[in-house]
Amino acid sequence: MLDRLTHTRIEFSTLLIRLMVGAVFLSEGIQKFLFAEEVGSGRFAKIGLPSPEILGPFVGTTEIIAGTLLLLGLFTRLAAIPTLVIMLVAISVTKIDIGLEQGVWEMLHASRTDWSMLIGSIFLLIRGGGMASVDLQINKRCKRTKAA
């Protein structure tokens, strides 16, 4: 099970995607605490999400943990799941209305980072951590242990 979870290919492109997605989520999670009114619970209240005083810190914490795991390349596939969910919710809650009210081009413009993070998360879910990841080191140890 651990072998399947941590299996990854050693490609530089995977490292770049992992670092980009991890850094964005870590940064956004921290900002949900530093600027709670603008991007955390205050924003969640403004757009009508339930229990924003709980949801804001929960999402922020999830982004910090997932972003850190992605940066390290530790359990990359598992860490990509909450980022994928966060992006699907963000697009459906905040961007669909823009499309309906202001048109598809405005929605596509406003959601470009959302789509990048969504697709990056899907990529990491499929590919794993790549080179310079803790997953790779764990996977190598699992293979050595099996061979011994």
* pLDDT value at residue 133: 95
Phi/psi of residue 3, nearest 5 degrees: -60, -45
CB-CB neighbours of 53 under 10 Å: 13
Q: Which two tokens stand for residue 42?
A: 């205050």
Kindly tell me if the per-residue pLDDT of 3 is higher than 80. Answer: no
- Name the DSSP class of 88: H
pLDDT at residue 8 greater than cutoff 90: no
pLDDT digits (tens, 9 = 90+) for 101-148: 999 999 999 999 999 999 999 999 999 999 999 999 998 888 888 777
**pLDDT of 4 above 80:** no
Q: Does residue 4 contact residue 116 with C-beta atoms inside 8 Å?
A: no
Cα–Cα dist 18/133, whole Å:
9
Q: How far is it, in rounded angstroms, from Cα 127 to Cα 129?
A: 7
The answer to whether the CB of 137 falls within 8 A of the CB of 44 is no
Name the pTM for this structure.
0.89
| Tens-place pLDDT, residues 41-76 | 999 999 999 999 999 999 999 999 999 999 999 999
